[in-house]
C-alpha cells in the first residue's frame, strides 16, 4: 500500500469514528443526561515501504582513503550516501592523462567531490552548476600512481540519497588557429621553441648532480634520455663490493659515467660490437656515495633501462711459487749449476709380495641429475584491449629474473622481439620469476616442470614511452 493510500484510509476511519460519536450523542440527548464520551484520537505514522528504503551500497565500508575501493575508469551506478557516510575510491592513472570525474545525484542529495594524490587535495568541486547538485572536476595526472576520489555530502546537507560516479578520459583540446584578417597587424618575429622529443620520465627533473635520483642496487628502472636531457642517479656504494651498472636500449646511444668523491670511477660507451648500450664494472674499496651519469650520443634519443647490481669482490689468487734463486756464481757467469751424474743400479732385491683382497661392489649407478625447470614468460602490451596477446604486441628487451624464496637472483634474461623470455634451470631453489620494471609483479614457478603458461599482459590504458612496441596489425591489411 502506497503512503497516499494509507493516509486516505486513515482519514476515512477518522470520519467514520466522528460520525459514530455524533450518533451516540444524539441518542443520549433523547433520554437521561449522560456525560460526554471521550473523543477518539487516531494517530497515523507513515512507514517506509521497501521501494523507498535506501541501503548501504555494494562497496561499503569504504569510508577512508586507507579503505578505498579500487575501480577502473567508467561508470559506477547505484551508490548511496547515508547519514555521515563518505565513499572513497582509488583509480590508477598515468602521468599526463586528462581525466574527468563526476557524480550524478538523484533527488535532494548534494555531493562534494575531492581528488587526493599522496594525501594532498589536487581538485575539489561542490555543485556542477547553480541548478545541479552533482559535482564535476577535470584534472591532469602529474605522475603515475593511485589517485583517491572522495564523495561526501555538502556541508549543512542532511538528505540521504543515491548517485552515480563516472570517470572518463578527456582528449587534449586543440588550440584553434585564428583566421588572418584583411590587414594583418605587424607582429614581432617569432622565436623558435624546442619541441619535446618524448615525455619526461618518472625520475625528472634529475638533469644535475644536485638533483640526482636515488636508486637501489638490484632494482631496474625505465627512463628516457636525449635531446639535451642528461640523467643523474646516486647510491651508496659499500666497501669490498664489486658493482656493475648497465643500460639496456636499442634506440639511444648511451654514454655511462660513474663519478666518485675523488673523480671519475669509469666510463662506458658501447658494451660490445654492434651494441649502443653501455656496461661498466668496478671494485669499490671504500664506502662512498657514487654518481651515475647517463647521456645520449650522436643526437640519438629514446627509452632505456638502468640497472646497478652489487656482488662480493672475488678473492685475489694466491701468489705463484718463486723458484729458488741461483748461486751468486751462476748468476754472475750465466753458467747453469753442474748436474750430478746419473748412476746405474747394480741389482734389484726381491721383496715379499703384497696381498690384495678384491670385493665386488656391484654395478656403478649414474649420478642423480638435478631436475630441469623450464620457464617461458610472455610479456605483452594489450594494444587492442582484447585481453589476449596478439601479433606485434610482445615487448622486447624487458629484464626478467628467476629468484629463490628469499628473492635472491638465480638467473636473468631479456625478452626477445616476440616478448618471450625462456629459462632452463637446474637449481632446485628457484621459486618465482619477476619483472622488475612492473612493481610488485611476480609469478610462482613449479620446480622440475615446464612452466609455459606465465603471461604478463599490460592493459591498454596509455602506452608508456619506454615500451618499444609497434602498433597492432589491423585486419584486412
Domain assignment present for residue 349? The answer is no
User: Does 446 lie in the same domain as 397?
Assistant: yes
Domain assignment present for residue 356? The answer is no
CATH number at residue 403: 2.60.40.10
- Measured CA to CA, the distance from residue 15 to residue 21 in angstroms comes to 10
Q: Kindly state the cell numbers that stand for 221.
A: 628502472
Identify whether the C-beta of residue 127 lies closer than 8 Å to the C-beta of residue 110. yes
User: Does 106 lie in the same domain as 38?
Assistant: no
User: Does 80 lie in the same domain as 42?
Assistant: no
- Measured CA to CA, the distance from residue 412 to residue 434 in angstroms comes to 10
Task: Count up the domains in the chain and report the number.
Answer: 4
Domain assignment present for residue 164? The answer is yes
For residue 52, report the phi and psi dihedrals to the nearest 5 degrees: -105, 5
Q: Among 141, 169, 197, where does a domain finish?
A: 169
Domain assignment present for residue 39? The answer is yes
Q: Among 293, 312, 331, where does a domain finish?
A: 312
User: Does 72 lie in the same domain as 45?
Assistant: no
Burial readout 401-433 (b: 16 or more C-beta within 10 A, e: otherwise): bbbeeeeeeeebbebeeebbbebebeeeebbeb
Identify whether the C-beta of residue 238 lies closer than 8 Å to the C-beta of residue 284. yes
User: Does 294 lie in the same domain as 214?
Assistant: yes
Closest to 384 measured CA to CA, from 458, 457, 460: 460
User: Does 231 lie in the same domain as 307?
Assistant: yes
Note if the pTM is more than 0.85. Answer: no
Q: Kindly report whether the peptide bond that precedes residue 219 is cis, defined as omega within 30 degrees of 0.
A: no
User: Does 304 lie in the same domain as 387?
Assistant: no
Domain range holding 156? 65-169
CATH number at residue 144: 2.60.120.380
Identify whether the C-beta of residue 180 lies closer than 8 Å to the C-beta of residue 204. no
User: Does 285 lie in the same domain as 261?
Assistant: yes
pLDDT by residue for the chain (477 residues), tens only, comes to 555 555 566 667 766 666 665 555 444 554 444 454 545 444 433 334 344 578 999 999 899 999 999 998 888 998 999 988 999 999 988 888 898 999 998 778 899 999 999 988 988 999 888 778 899 999 899 998 899 999 999 988 888 999 999 999 887 765 565 655 556 556 566 555 455 556 778 888 888 888 899 888 888 889 998 878 899 999 999 988 999 999 999 888 899 999 999 899 999 998 888 789 999 998 988 899 999 999 998 888 889 999 999 887 666 666 666 555 544 444 444 555 565 565 555 555 565 665 556 565 555 555 556 688 989 999 888 888 888 888 888 888 888 999 998 888 898 999 998 889 999 888 888 999 998 878 778 899 999 899 888 888 888 765 554 554 444 444 444
User: Does 12 lie in the same domain as 49?
Assistant: yes
Q: Kindly report whether the peptide bond that precedes residue 205 is cis, defined as omega within 30 degrees of 0.
A: yes
Domain assignment present for residue 48? The answer is yes
Domain assignment present for residue 361? The answer is no
Q: Is 369 left (phi over 0), alpha (psi -120 to 50) or beta?
A: beta
User: Does 255 lie in the same domain as 297?
Assistant: yes
User: Does 70 lie in the same domain as 44?
Assistant: no
User: Does 155 lie in the same domain as 247?
Assistant: no
R_g (Cα) of the chain, nearest Å: 41
Residue found under cell 564535476: 136
Cα–chain center distance at 447 = 27
Burial class of residue 26 in the structure, from the number of CB atoms within 10 Å of its CB (0-12 exposed, 13-18 middle, 19+ buried)? exposed
Amino acid at each position: 500500500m502506497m503512503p497516499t493510500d494509507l493516509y486516505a484510509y486513515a482519514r476515512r476511519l477518522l470520519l467514520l469514528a466522528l460520525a459514530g460519536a455524533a450518533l451516540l450523542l444524539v441518542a443520549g440527548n433523547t433520554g437521561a443526561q449522560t456525560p460526554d464520551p471521550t473523543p477518539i484520537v487516531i494517530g497515523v505514522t507513515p512507514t517506509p515501504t521497501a521501494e523507498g528504503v535506501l541501503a548501504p551500497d555494494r562497496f561499503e565500508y569504504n569510508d577512508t582513503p586507507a579503505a578505498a575501493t579500487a575501480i577502473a575508469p567508467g561508470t559506477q551506478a547505484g551508490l548511496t550516501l547515508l547519514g555521515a557516510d563518505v565513499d572513497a575510491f582509488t583509480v590508477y592513472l598515468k602521468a599526463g592523462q586528462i581525466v574527468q570525474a563526476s557524480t550524478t545525484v538523484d533527488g535532494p542529495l548534494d555531493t562534494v567531490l575531492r581528488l587526493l594524490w599522496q594525501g594532498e587535495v589536487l581538485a575539489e568541486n561542490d555543485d556542477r552548476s547553480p541548478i545541479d547538485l552533482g559535482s564535476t572536476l577535470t584534472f591532469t595526472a602529474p605522475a603515475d600512481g593511485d589517485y583517491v576520489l572522495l564523495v561526501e555530502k555538502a556541508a549543512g546537507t542532511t538528505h540521504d540519497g543515491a548517485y552515480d560516479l563516472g570517470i572518463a578520459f578527456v582528449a587534449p583540446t586543440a588550440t584553434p588557429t585564428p583566421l588572418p584578417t584583411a590587414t594583418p597587424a605587424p607582429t614581432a618575429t617569432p622565436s623558435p621553441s624546442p619541441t619535446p622529443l618524448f615525455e619526461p620520465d618518472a625520475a625528472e627533473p634529475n638533469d644535475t648532480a644536485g638533483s640526482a635520483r636515488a636508486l637501489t642496487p638490484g632494482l631496474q628502472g625505465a627512463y628516457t634520455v636525449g635531446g639535451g636531457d642528461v640523467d643523474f642517479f646516486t647510491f651508496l656504494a659499500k666497501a669490498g663490493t664489486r658493482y656493475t651498472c648497465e643500460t639496456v636500449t636499442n634506440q639511444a646511444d648511451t654514454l655511462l659515467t660513474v663519478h666518485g668523491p675523488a673523480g671519475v670511477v669509469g666510463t662506458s660507451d658501447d658494451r660490445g660490437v654492434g651494441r649502443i648500450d653501455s656496461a661498466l664494472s668496478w671494485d669499490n674499496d671504500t664506502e662512498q656515495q657514487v654518481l651515475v651519469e647517463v647521456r645520449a650520443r650522436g643526437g640519438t634519443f629514446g627509452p632505456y633501462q638502468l640497472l646497478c647490481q652489487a656482488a662480493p669482490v672475488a678473492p685475489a689468487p694466491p701468489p705463484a711459487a718463486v723458484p729458488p734463486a741461483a748461486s751468486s756464481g751462476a748468476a754472475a757467469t750465466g753458467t747453469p749449476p753442474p748436474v750430478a751424474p746419473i748412476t746405474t743400479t747394480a741389482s734389484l732385491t726381491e721383496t715379499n709380495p703384497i696381498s690384495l683382497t678384491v670385493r665386488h661392489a656391484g654395478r656403478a649407478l649414474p649420478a642423480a641429475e638435478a631436475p630441469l625447470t623450464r620457464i617461458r614468460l610472455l610479456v605483452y602490451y594489450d594494444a587492442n584491449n582484447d585481453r589476449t596477446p596478439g601479433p606485434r604486441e610482445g615487448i622486447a628487451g624487458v629484464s626478467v629474473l628467476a629468484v629463490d624464496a628469499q628473492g635472491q637472483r638465480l638467473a636473468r634474461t631479456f625478452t626477445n622481439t616476440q616478448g618471450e623470455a625462456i629459462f632452463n634451470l637446474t637449481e632446485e631453489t628457484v621459486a618465482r620469476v619477476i619483472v622488475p620494471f612492473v612493481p610488485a609483479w611476480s609469478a610462482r614457478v613449479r620446480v622440475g616442470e615446464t612452466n609455459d603458461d606465465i603471461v604478463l599482459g599490460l592493459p591498454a590504458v596509455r602506452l608508456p614511452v619506454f615500451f618499444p612496441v609497434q602498433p597492432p596489425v589491423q585486419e584486412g591489411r
